[in-house]
Amino acid sequence: MAAAALHKPVLLKEAIEAMNIQQNSCCVDGTFGRGGHSAAILERLGEDGCLIALDKDEQAIAHGKEHFASEPRLHLHHSSFSRLQEVVEQHGLAGKINAVLLDLGVSSPQLDDAGRGFSFQLDGPLDMRMNQSSGKSAAQWLATEEESEIARVLWEYGEERFSRRIARAIVEQRGAEPLHTTKQLAQLIFRASPVKERHKHPATRSFQAIRIHINRELDDLREGLRQAVEVLAPGGRLVVISFHSLEDRIVKRFMRDMARGEQLPKGVPVMEKQRKPGILKPVGKPVRAGQQELQQNPRARSAIMRIAEKQA
């Protein structure tokens, strides 16, 4: 299916350029979504190229199987990118991948589907799972978790300054009636927040935090980054698009640490040439959406893309 007919991801052109795709490249799209990046990658690949695409969202994989049914170069896997290395090894391509792309966070189709429970602006079941076939939903988690743990999650993953007040309100509410819908939770958070920011709903940070926790997003990211480096060929590119500071901080530090190489305590008698060199090299500066894209898609305003290349 033509890329133009698909949902267009943020920084699409910039990401494809950053991947440095050749006709015979083997690439990984760790976050297939609705196939926007994958379609653009396939346009760059020749007949001998291949693309492994993963997504833990069953709807995304179903969409891909329907719209890319006649594409032999695409190999779709219902899996988190935290299992990227295992999937690549199934194809016998460990150490031979030329580019890995990770487009983090929740996609527009997921946000716009009230039935998924990601958005506080749409009333739907309080689910928030990217993989709806496993794990606890947000409603199930909020119905049973300790107040202190709910507060920790809201603070750590959402940087919500009223985390304790909101957690207390959730526990009090579930004593009378469990939370089942996004509207119920959003209204509860609105009432529990003593200060309202202009142009920002009080539920924004809490919904982000709960989603990150339910889907283990930051743990998966750390594991996915590590495995991406393992499967890349020398000269292969790692391209990561993140949408909030917690994600970007992890990506930035990972690339920095992998570029520094082996860090030894002061005073260890080891010559510089004996120290293990860095395995990644940053490529260019962080990339953000341009003015034209921001006008067409306001959700792109928080996107930041980082690129690194594996050293020989």
Structure tokens at 264: 């030894």
Decide if 49 contacts 191 (C-beta within 8 A): no
pLDDT digits (tens, 9 = 90+) for 116-146: 999 999 999 999 999 998 899 999 999 999 9
Lowest mean pLDDT among 13-27, 35-49, 200-214, 285-299: 285-299
C-alpha of 120 from chain center: 20
Q: Which amino acid type is present at position 306?
A: R
In DSSP terms, which residues pair with 304 in a beta bridge?
242
Determine the Cα–Cα distance for residues 16 and 18; give it in Å rounded to an integer.
5
Give residue 216's region: left, alpha or beta (phi > 0; psi -120 to 50).
Answer: left
Neighbours of 70 (CB within 10 A): 7
Q: What is the pTM of this model?
A: 0.90
Give SS3 for 176.
helix
- Percentage above 90 pLDDT, the chain: 82
Per-residue pLDDT at 265? 65
Neighbours of 263 (CB within 10 A): 8
CB-based contacts of 117, cutoff 8 Å, min separation 6? 124, 125, 126, 127, 128, 137, 138, 182
Decide if 150 contacts 170 (C-beta within 8 A): yes
Per-residue pLDDT at 2? 40
